[in-house]
Amino acid sequence: MVDAFKKLAVDVPDVKARRFGLIVIGDEILSGRRQDKHLSKLIELLNERGLSLSWAKYVADDPEHITATLKDSFASGDVVFSTGGIGATPDDHTRQCAALALGTKTQLHPTAQELIAGRIQSMAEGDPIKADLSSPENQHRFKMGEFPLGSDIIPNPYNQIPGFCIREHYFVPGFPVMAAPMMAWCLDTHYQNLFHGENWAEQSFIVPKGIESTLTPLMERIEATFPGVKVFSLPSVGDASKGGVYAERHIELGIKGNANLLESAWIALRAGTEALGYVIHDIPKS
């Protein structure tokens, strides 16, 4: 079987793909008061553009933890989206923590100042008291435009209060209705050159009564023989409501990666699984 793998192996150029990450900040997510919608949305936005999410982290509204998390992500070289904590209430720490993580300070961004002022004026609806930019309430609103030095703004089509970006980190509000179009704008503005470049694909089949410990050596050989291909295993105890092979214990075994690399690995994975004595059940194409 090893010799067969060698015959199927192909030369793969050593090209390091950009990694995308997500940081979701907010006590309300970790306490369960709100359900996170950012993870699934960012995965959707990336997949639509032929990209994929490499990692995600959930962080409480704790300045020390936020700062440490951002220090690590800034050092990673990854493209990172961060949601939440950029408002002007006492539990909004992200702007200051990003500055601390970069060893700098925050300052009112002039374009953000203009946008926030415009929002204040439009919301005042002609009321001179509400429109007074020097009032304590409105001065406090300008804190939402205080970003780490060197930041650029991210337009917010929902209410014009911008997010900010610095060092390929994109900071957007915790409200999904605002965050989703802002994340899409960032991808379309800064990363079009990466769209569909990976030609990402995945294939899988069902292994009835499969045992992961038996399949693991095969999975390791596939990944070692076909660089750039990842093997995945999704075990299930079975679901009687689905019937057939899905009703009993089984494993969904598959590969993912650049579509141009998968054919040989797919053949080797199927052959190796059958050589272990398993019967393969193909998943119907939807």
State the pairing for strand pair 106-108/146-148: antiparallel
Predicted pLDDT of residue 15: 41
> What's the pLDDT at 119?
94
The whole-number pLDDT of residue 58 equals 98
Cα 238 to chain center, whole Å? 29
Q: Could you tell me which of 186, 125, 122 has the C-alpha nearest to residue 156?
A: 186
CATH topology of domain 2-11+199-282: Alpha-Beta Plaits (3.30.70)
Cβ-defined contacts of 268-275 (< 8 Å, 24+): 268/4, 268/5, 268/8, 268/222, 268/225, 268/226, 269/218, 269/222, 269/231, 270/205, 271/1, 271/4, 272/1, 272/218, 272/221, 272/222, 273/205, 273/207, 273/215, 273/218, 275/1
Domain coordinates of the chain in residue numbers?
2-11+199-282, 20-194
- Local confidence pLDDT in tens for the 286 residues of the chain: 555 555 555 454 444 578 999 999 999 999 999 999 999 999 999 999 989 999 999 999 999 999 999 999 999 999 999 999 999 999 999 999 999 999 999 999 999 999 999 999 988 888 888 889 999 999 999 999 999 999 999 999 999 999 999 999 999 999 999 999 999 999 999 999 999 876 778 899 999 999 999 999 999 999 999 998 999 999 999 888 888 888 899 999 999 988 888 999 999 999 999 999 999 999 987 6
Kindly state the tokens that stand for 221: 């050989």
The pLDDT of residue 261 is: 84
Topology of domain 20-194, CATH: Molybdenum Cofactor Biosythetic Enzyme; Chain A (3.40.980)
Three-class secondary structure assignment of the chain: CHHHHHHHCCCCCCCCCCCEEEEEECHHHHCCCCCCCHHHHHHHHHHHCCCCEEEEEEECCCHHHHHHHHHHHHHHCCEEEEECCCCCCCCCCHHHHHHHHHCCCEEECHHHHHHHHHHHHHHHCCCCCCCCCCCHHHHHHHHHHEEECCCEEECCCCCCCCEEEECCEEEECCCHHHHHHHHHHHHHHHCHHHCCCCCEEEEEEEEECCCHHHHHHHHHHHHHHCCCEEEEEEEECCCCCCCHHHHCCEEEEEEEEEHHHHHHHHHHHHHHHHHCCCCCEECCCC
